[in-house]
Chains A and B, each alone.
Chain A
Amino acid sequence: MSDVATKSRTTLWTRYTSSSPVVVTLYALILGLAFGALVIIVTTPAVLDAWRGLFDSWGAFPHALNATFNYVGAGYRAMFTGSVVDPQGFWHSLTTGKGWPNTLTPLSETLTYASPLVIVSIGVGIAFQTGLFNIGANGQAVIGGIAGTAFGSMLHMPTALHLPLTLLAGIAGGMLCGALPGILKAYTGAHEVIVTLMFNYVTYAFLLFCVLSTPLQQPGQSNDISRTMDPSAILAPLFGTKSGLRVSYGIFVSAAVVLFAWWLLNRSSLGFDFRVTGANPSAAKASGINARKVVVVSFLVSGGLAGLAGVVQVASTTHYIDGNFLIGNAGIGFTAITVALLGRNKPMGIVWASLLFAALGVGGRNMQATTGIPLDLATVIQSAIVLFVATPVLVKEIFHLRNVDTVGLNLATTGWGT
Chain B
Amino acid sequence: MRLELRRITKRFGALTANDQISLIVEPGQIHSLLGENGAGKSTLMNVLFGLLRQDEGEILINDVVTSIADSGEAVRHGLGMVHQHFMLVPVFTVTENVVLGFEPTKSLDRVDYTKATEDIRRLSRQFNLEVDPNAIIENLPVGIQQRVEIIKALSHDAELLILDEPTAVLTPQEIDALMEVMRSLAAAGKSILFITHKLKEVKAVADVITVIRHGRVVGTAEPTASESELASLMVGREVNLTVEKSPYEPGDEVLEIRDLVVLDDRGLIAVNGVSLDVRAGEVLALAGVQGNGQTEFVEALVGMRSVLSGTITLHGRDITHLTPRKKLDAGIGHIPEDRQRDGLVLTMSVADNLVLNTPRRAPFASRGTRNLAAVNENAEHLVKDFDVRTSSIQSPTSALSGGNQQKVIVARELSRSLEFLVASQPTRGLDVGSIEYVHSQIIEHRNHGNGSLIVSSELDEVLALGDRIAVMFEGQICGIVDPSTSRESIGLLMAGHALEVSDV
- Asked if A286 and B304 make an inter-chain contact with CB atoms under 8 angstroms apart, the answer reads yes
- Asked if A267 and B304 make an inter-chain contact with CB atoms under 8 angstroms apart, the answer reads no
Q: Binding site of B, secondary structure by majority: helix, strand, loop or mixed?
A: mixed
Q: B322-333, CB under 8 A of A: which get 1 and which 0? A: 011111110000
Chain B, residue nearest A263 (CB):
B369
A269 contact from B304, B334, B360, B396, Cβ within 8 A? B360
- Asked if B344 and A280 make an inter-chain contact with CB atoms under 8 angstroms apart, the answer reads yes
| A345 CB to nearest B CB, Å | 12
Q: B16-50, CB under 8 A of A: which get 1 and which 0? A: 10000000000000000000000000000000000
Residues from 289 to 321 in A contacting B, C-beta threshold 8 Å = 289-290
Q: What residues of chain B lie closer than 8 Å to A288, measured between beta carbons?
A: 303, 323-329, 357
What is the interface of chain A, defined by CB distance below 8 A to chain B? 1-3, 6-7, 263, 267-270, 272-273, 275-276, 279-280, 282-290, 407, 411, 415
Interchain CA distance A1-B334 in the complex, whole Å: 33
Q: A286-B302, A411-B396 are in contact. Are A279 and B324 (CB under 8 A)?
A: no
Interface size of B by CB at 8 A reads 38
- Asked if A2 and B396 make an inter-chain contact with CB atoms under 8 angstroms apart, the answer reads no
Q: What residues of chain B lie closer than 8 Å to A415, measured between beta carbons?
A: 347
Interchain CA distance A270-B357 in the complex, whole Å: 13
Q: Binding site of A, secondary structure by majority: helix, strand, loop or mixed?
A: helix
| A154 CB to nearest B CB, Å | 35
- Asked if A286 and B342 make an inter-chain contact with CB atoms under 8 angstroms apart, the answer reads yes
| A273 CB to nearest B CB, Å | 7
- Asked if A286 and B14 make an inter-chain contact with CB atoms under 8 angstroms apart, the answer reads no
Chain B, residue nearest A2 (CB):
B14
Interchain CA distance A140-B343 in the complex, whole Å: 36
- Asked if A269 and B368 make an inter-chain contact with CB atoms under 8 angstroms apart, the answer reads yes
List 30 A–B pairs whose Cβ atoms lie within 8 Å, in order of A's numbering. A1-B15, A263-B369, A269-B360, A269-B365, A269-B369, A272-B359, A272-B370, A276-B345, A279-B345, A279-B346, A280-B341, A282-B338, A282-B342, A283-B344, A283-B356, A285-B324, A285-B342, A286-B304, A286-B334, A286-B336, A287-B356, A288-B303, A288-B323, A288-B324, A288-B326, A288-B328, A288-B357, A290-B323, A407-B399, A411-B347
- Asked if B323 and A269 make an inter-chain contact with CB atoms under 8 angstroms apart, the answer reads no
Chain B, residue nearest A6 (CB):
B14
- Asked if A279 and B348 make an inter-chain contact with CB atoms under 8 angstroms apart, the answer reads yes
- Asked if A280 and B14 make an inter-chain contact with CB atoms under 8 angstroms apart, the answer reads no
Q: What residues of chain A lie closer than 8 Å to B365, measured between beta carbons?
A: 269
Q: Is B372 an interface residue (CB 8 A)?
A: yes
- Asked if B344 and A273 make an inter-chain contact with CB atoms under 8 angstroms apart, the answer reads no
B368 contact from A3, A270, A279, Cβ within 8 A? A270
Closest 10 CB pairs of A and B: A288-B325, A287-B357, A3-B14, A286-B342, A288-B324, A1-B15, A280-B345, A279-B345, A282-B341, A6-B14
Q: Is B13 an interface residue (CB 8 A)?
A: yes
| B404 CB to nearest A CB, Å | 15
Chain A, residue nearest B344 (CB):
A283
Chain A, residue nearest B299 (CB):
A286
Q: B368-381, CB under 8 A of A: which get 1 and which 0? A: 11101000000000
Q: What residues of chain B lie closer than 8 Å to A268, measured between beta carbons?
A: 368-370
Q: What residues of chain A lie closer than 8 Å to B398, measured between beta carbons?
A: 407
Interchain CA distance A268-B344 in the complex, whole Å: 19
| B429 CB to nearest A CB, Å | 17
Interchain CA distance A6-B325 in the complex, whole Å: 48
Q: What residues of chain A lie closer than 8 Å to B14, measured between beta carbons?
A: 1-3, 6-7
Q: Is B352 an interface residue (CB 8 A)?
A: yes
Question: Looking at B341, B356, B365, B399, which has the most chain A CB atoms within 10 Å of its CB?
Answer: B356
Interchain CA distance A268-B364 in the complex, whole Å: 11
Interchain CA distance A272-B356 in the complex, whole Å: 9
Interchain CA distance A407-B326 in the complex, whole Å: 35
Q: What residues of chain A lie closer than 8 Å to B348, measured between beta carbons?
A: 275-276, 279
Residues from 356 to 406 in B contacting A, C-beta threshold 8 Å = 356-357, 359-360, 365, 368-370, 372, 396, 398-399
Question: Looking at A282, A285, A288, A415, which has the most chain B CB atoms within 10 Å of its CB?
Answer: A288
A267 contact from B338, B347, B372, Cβ within 8 A? B372
Q: What residues of chain B lie closer than 8 Å to A407, measured between beta carbons?
A: 396, 398-399
Chain A, residue nearest B214 (CB):
A1
| A216 CB to nearest B CB, Å | 37
- Asked if A276 and B356 make an inter-chain contact with CB atoms under 8 angstroms apart, the answer reads yes
- Asked if A269 and B370 make an inter-chain contact with CB atoms under 8 angstroms apart, the answer reads yes
